[in-house]
């Protein structure tokens, strides 16, 4: 179970703000926790809900974690705490309708209610507007917590009705050191830090052959597209698309590709200390001569564009084909 | 925990609580049935968080022993497979036991099932409703009350509070009101004098819960004990407890909607009126509003017509008992009218109009005040 004390190290400002609002009983009706992945947003929302329902009467902001309310919130079984997660690509209207119904009823055990919407930026337009109605007319004892990695993708009318709490990305150096301590090799630790993995996920991927293979294939693709004699397009079909299948995997592939181009730019700017792929310095040096800084920038723009296309449901193969044709020299 | 119990009795209880369990629940623990055994009884609980049903199997009743052996304890077991398992067991006695690791064993004759249980501490804790704050009703009366009002609740979520029936208890008068803002159904009854009279005002029970309650209660002369708390209402019969969450918010004051004077009054046989309107609405049903028009004529005759330009027209004359007051032409939704007349369930009814643009009320000629149906007319040109 998480504790405020642990989170305080990672997120001093955000945690302090939340603790104060609890201790001084000035809880807002809606919060927006925004910040990059793995910064403890979910943990904070859980702690907040636990403290809100905790049966132990204390002045402090720490929940007891032992009473039935705390335990059930942690296991997802509390009847008055609702978690909404994207159903597939987005949070659907029906999910918000369920919430809407839930608001009009009294609570099952008490009249306090908390709802936590994860990846709130993935709400469809319809869903956002339905939710808005409840943010506008809050119920006395209802608290909404919206979590998002991308607050700019949310509609303004929602943003303006929430108390925004920023979760800062983890200090890269610290995260890197922590990964090293866990016995992750230097070069891998750099990549994991750049991908902003949390510790648990990093340990999982460390020995995953799929990830090692993915790294190799991304490297090969860069090789192919930067050499006019090679056919990146064929490589894409023969190798890449077989390795990266689901949407998450494709996104990871693009993230890795992005790192390569960022590194080329770092090289151009003579900022070798910023290079992430420290085991590939020779390669980066040769690429630097083949690819100008403007061209690298254009490529990065194309990759970001592809990510956006995938998010709006362009077919995987088509989006990747388009990208490779753009990158091919 | 360990119990040895009669299968038929257990099966009946399981079927009762299964009515509350929804297959698609967002709270994992609610996909289970809670079994709680004490020395006196075995209690099963099922819930979809909106409604909760508890069913009690007593140790013995009228000399028939239902529970042969008890070792107290509780466990939550997956509801999906339990009914089929119990139904198909070979013997009439069932042994259910659970160990400290929440493994459940069901044994009957030579058949044995092992199921994974869940922690009963995770199950929602139902509020213990105070038994002092209660009143008694006969079951068949309660069912009539529900039937006469519940049909009028709103089905649209735009005003959520209207999806429930408002219960009001004041000076030993219980009043139920339901409205979807186009029509209103209200029923009042006088309660027997009870020792300490309780009163409440803003209790709104979701229409869906009442529909379920209506299904689960058996017709009969027995009484059901109703207790109310801040967020739940409990209907308690001898062996079945039915809990429902309430709707949050203030129910609108409906007393002002009911006109206290009338310009035209029609007394008519209810059955004949239903049939006439039903026939007239045949052609109007395709139309979105299902509108029929009612015109008073001389010699206590009503003309009921409907007109849908693409299909045709229907027209019928109906002899009434009496028509007093001003002449009137009015249009309204035929379905609302039929629903209201069916709910009143009287031989002769009177309809009081206050002009073509004002709502009108329908009441039985006898026992006034007790049931009242109000319908707002439709503007036509």
For the stretch B116-140, pLDDT in tens is 988 888 888 877 766 667 888 889 8
Quote the percentage of chain B above a pLDDT of 70.
Answer: 96
Give the DSSP H or E segment for A318.
Answer: helix A316-327
Whether B380 is in a domain gets the answer: no
Q: Express each pLDDT in A179-204 by its tens digit.
A: 888 888 888 888 888 887 777 778 88
Give the DSSP H or E segment for A205.
Answer: helix A199-206
- Asked whether residue B52 carries a pLDDT value surpassing 60, the answer given is yes
CA B79 vs. chain centroid, Å, equals: 25
Q: Are residues B340 and B294 in the same domain?
A: yes
Query: Can you tell me the distance from the alpha carbon of B369 to that of B226, in angstroms, rounded to the nearest whole number?
Result: 24
- Residues from chain B that touch A71, judged by Cβ atoms under 8 A, are 121-122
Whether B331 is in a domain gets the answer: yes
Length of chain B (residues): 381
CA distance readout (Å), A252 to A99, A179, A196, A249, B231: 32, 19, 12, 5, 47
Question: What distance in Å separates residue A100's CA from the closest CA in chain B?
Answer: 9
| SS3 of B245-294 | ECECCCCCCCHHHCCCCCCEEEEEEHHHHHHHHHHHHCCCCCCCCCEEEE
B positions 162-181 inside 8 Å of A (CB): 163
Contact A111 B231 (CB under 8 A): yes
Q: Express each pLDDT in A315-328 by its tens digit.
A: 888 999 999 888 88
pLDDT of residue B202: 82
Query: Can you tell me the distance from the alpha carbon of B373 to that of B339, in angstroms, rounded to the nearest whole number?
Result: 10
The CATH class of A208-327 is mainly alpha
ipTM above 0.85, yes or no: no
pLDDT of residue B196: 62
Whether B291 is in a domain gets the answer: yes
Contact B248 A83 (CB under 8 A): no
Q: Express each pLDDT in B98-113 by its tens digit.
A: 888 888 999 988 999 9
Q: Express each pLDDT in B255-292 by its tens digit.
A: 888 888 889 999 999 999 999 999 988 887 776 678 89
pLDDT of residue B152: 92
Contact B231 A110 (CB under 8 A): yes
Q: Are residues B113 and B38 in the same domain?
A: yes
Q: Are residues B87 and B67 in the same domain?
A: yes
The residue from B122, B149, B173 where one domain ends is: B122
Query: Can you tell me the distance from the alpha carbon of B24 to that of B31, in angstroms, rounded to the nearest whole number?
Result: 8
**B28, B123, B230 member nearest A76 (Cβ):** B28
Interface probe with A: pick from B50, B74, B124, most Cβ of A within 10 Å: B124
Q: Are residues B250 and B140 in the same domain?
A: yes
Q: Are residues B107 and B202 in the same domain?
A: no
Query: Can you tell me the distance from the alpha carbon of B300 to that of B297, in angstroms, rounded to the nearest whole number?
Result: 6
Residue B229, chain A, CB below 8 Å: the answer is: no
Whether B146 is in a domain gets the answer: yes
Whether B201 is in a domain gets the answer: yes
- DSSP symbol at A105: B
pLDDT of residue A106: 83
Residue A97, chain B, CB below 8 Å: the answer is: yes
Task: List chain A domain ranges.
Answer: 4-166, 208-327
- Please, which residues have CB within 8 angstroms of residue B253's CB and are 6 or more apart in sequence? none
Interface probe with B: pick from A71, A82, A98, A104, most Cβ of B within 10 Å: A104
Residue B155, chain A, CB below 8 Å: the answer is: no
- One fold for both A4-166 and A208-327? no
Q: Express each pLDDT in B156-205 by its tens digit.
A: 877 888 999 999 888 888 899 999 989 999 998 888 766 566 778 888 99
Whether B161 is in a domain gets the answer: yes
pLDDT of residue A303: 92
pLDDT of residue B287: 67
Whether B219 is in a domain gets the answer: yes
Q: Packing angle between helix A316-327 and helix A293-311, nearest 10 degrees?
A: 170
- Asked whether residue B381 carries a pLDDT value surpassing 70, the answer given is no
Q: CB of A14 within 8 A of CB of A167? A: yes
Length of chain A (residues): 329
CATH number of the CATH domain containing B205 = 3.10.150.10
Residue A130, chain B, CB below 8 Å: the answer is: no
The residue from B238, B254, B270 where one domain ends is: B254
With CA atoms as reference, report the closest residue to A114 among A14, A2, A7, A22. Answer: A22
- Residues from chain B that touch A77, judged by Cβ atoms under 8 A, are 27-29, 122-123
Question: What distance in Å separates residue A92's CA from the closest CA in chain B?
Answer: 15
Which fold does the domain A4-166 belong to in CATH?
Answer: Rossmann fold (3.40.50)
With CA atoms as reference, report the closest residue to A167 among A74, A45, A53, A22. Answer: A45
Number of structural domains found in chain B: 3
The residue from B96, B122, B148 where one domain ends is: B122
CATH number of the CATH domain containing B353 = 3.70.10.10
Whether B131 is in a domain gets the answer: no
- Please, which residues have CB within 8 angstroms of residue B222's CB and are 6 or more apart in sequence? B138, B139, B237, B238
Residue A66, chain B, CB below 8 Å: the answer is: no
Residue whose pair of structure tokens reads 């301590």 in the numeric block = A181
Q: Which domain holds residue B307?
A: 258-375
Q: Are residues B199 and B311 in the same domain?
A: no
- Asked whether residue B153 carries a pLDDT value surpassing 90, the answer given is yes
**A98, A104, A108 member nearest B249 (Cβ):** A104
With CA atoms as reference, report the closest residue to B294 among B315, B268, B263, B309. Answer: B315
């Amino acid at each position: 179970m998480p504790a405020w004390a642990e989170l305080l190290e990672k997120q001093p400002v955000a945690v302090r703000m939340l603790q104060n609002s609890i201790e001084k009983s000035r809880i807002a009706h809606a919060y927006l926790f925004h910040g990059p992945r793995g910064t403890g947003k979910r943990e904070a929302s859980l702690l907040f809900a636990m403290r809100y329902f905790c049966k132990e009467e204390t002045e402090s902001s720490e929940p007891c974690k032992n009473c039935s309310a705390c335990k059930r919130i942690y296991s997802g079984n509390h009847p008055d705490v609702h978690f909404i997660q994207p159903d597939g690509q987005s949070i659907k209207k029906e999910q918000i309708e369920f919430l809407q119904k839930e608001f009009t009823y009294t609570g099952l055990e008490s009249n306090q209610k908390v709802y936590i919407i994860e990846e709130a930026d993935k709400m469809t337009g319809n869903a956002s507007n339905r939710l808005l109605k409840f943010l506008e007319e809050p119920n006395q004892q209802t608290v909404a917590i919206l979590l998002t990695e991308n607050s700019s993708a949310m509609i303004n009318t929602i943003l303006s009705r929430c108390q925004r709490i920023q979760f800062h990305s983890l200090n890269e150096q610290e995260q890197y050191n922590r990964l090293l301590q866990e016995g992750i090799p230097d070069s891998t630790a750099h990549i994991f830090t750049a991908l902003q993995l949390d510790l648990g996920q990093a340990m999982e991927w460390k020995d995953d052959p799929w990830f090692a293979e993915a790294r190799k294939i991304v490297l090969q693709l860069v090789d192919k597209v930067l050499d006019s004699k090679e056919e990146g397009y064929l490589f894409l079909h023969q190798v890449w698309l077989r390795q990266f299948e689901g949407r998450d995997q494709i996104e990871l592939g693009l993230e890795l590709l992005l790192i390569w181009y960022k590194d080329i730019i770092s090289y151009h700017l003579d900022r070798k200390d910023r290079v992430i792929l420290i085991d590939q310095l020779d390669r980066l040096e040769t690429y630097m001569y083949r690819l100008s800084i403007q061209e690298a920038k254009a490529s990065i723009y194309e990759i970001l564009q592809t990510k956006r296309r995938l998010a709006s449901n362009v077919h995987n193969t088509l989006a990747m084909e388009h990208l490779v044709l753009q990158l091919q020299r | 925990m360990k119990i040895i119990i009669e299968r038929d009795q257990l099966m009946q209880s399981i079927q009762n609580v299964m009515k509350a369990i929804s297959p698609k629940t967002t709270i994992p623990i609610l996909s289970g049935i809670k079994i709680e055994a004490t020395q006196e009884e075995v209690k099963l609980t099922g819930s979809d968080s909106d409604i909760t049903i508890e069913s009690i199997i007593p140790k013995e009743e009228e000399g028939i022993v239902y529970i042969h052996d008890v070792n107290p304890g509780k466990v939550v077991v997956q509801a999906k497979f339990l009914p089929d398992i119990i139904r198909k067991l070979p013997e009439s006695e069932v042994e259910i036991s659970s160990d400290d690791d929440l493994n459940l064993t069901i044994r009957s004759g030579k058949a044995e099932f092992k199921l994974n249980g869940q922690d009963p501490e995770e199950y929602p804790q139902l509020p213990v409703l105070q038994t002092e704050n209660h009143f008694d009703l006969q079951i068949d009366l309660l069912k009539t009350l529900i039937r006469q009002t519940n049909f009028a609740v709103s089905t649209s979520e735009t005003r959520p509070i209207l999806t429930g029936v408002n219960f009001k208890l004041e000076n030993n008068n219980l009043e139920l009101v339901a409205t979807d803002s186009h029509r209103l159904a209200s029923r009042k009854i006088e309660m027997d004098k009870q020792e300490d009279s309780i009163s409440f005002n803003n209790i709104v029970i979701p229409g869906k819960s009442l529909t379920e309650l209506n299904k689960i209660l058996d017709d009969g002369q027995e009484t059901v004990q109703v207790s109310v708390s801040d967020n739940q209402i409990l209907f308690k019969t001898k062996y079945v407890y039915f809990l429902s969450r309430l709707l949050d918010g203030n129910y609108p004051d409906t007393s002002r909607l009911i006109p206290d004077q009338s310009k035209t009054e029609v007394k008519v046989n209810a059955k004949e009126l239903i049939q006439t309107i039903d026939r007239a609405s045949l052609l109007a049903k395709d139309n979105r509003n299902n509108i029929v028009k009612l015109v008073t004529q001389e010699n206590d005759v009503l003309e009921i017509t409907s007109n849908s330009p693409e299909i045709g027209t229907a027209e019928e004359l109906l002899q009434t008992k009496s028509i007093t007051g001003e002449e009137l032409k009015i249009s309204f939704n035929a379905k609302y009218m039929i629903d209201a007349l069916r709910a009143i369930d009287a031989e002769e009814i009177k309809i009081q109009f206050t002009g073509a643009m004002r709502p009108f009320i329908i009441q039985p000629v006898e026992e006034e005040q007790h049931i009242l149906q109000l319908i707002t007319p439709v503007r036509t040109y």
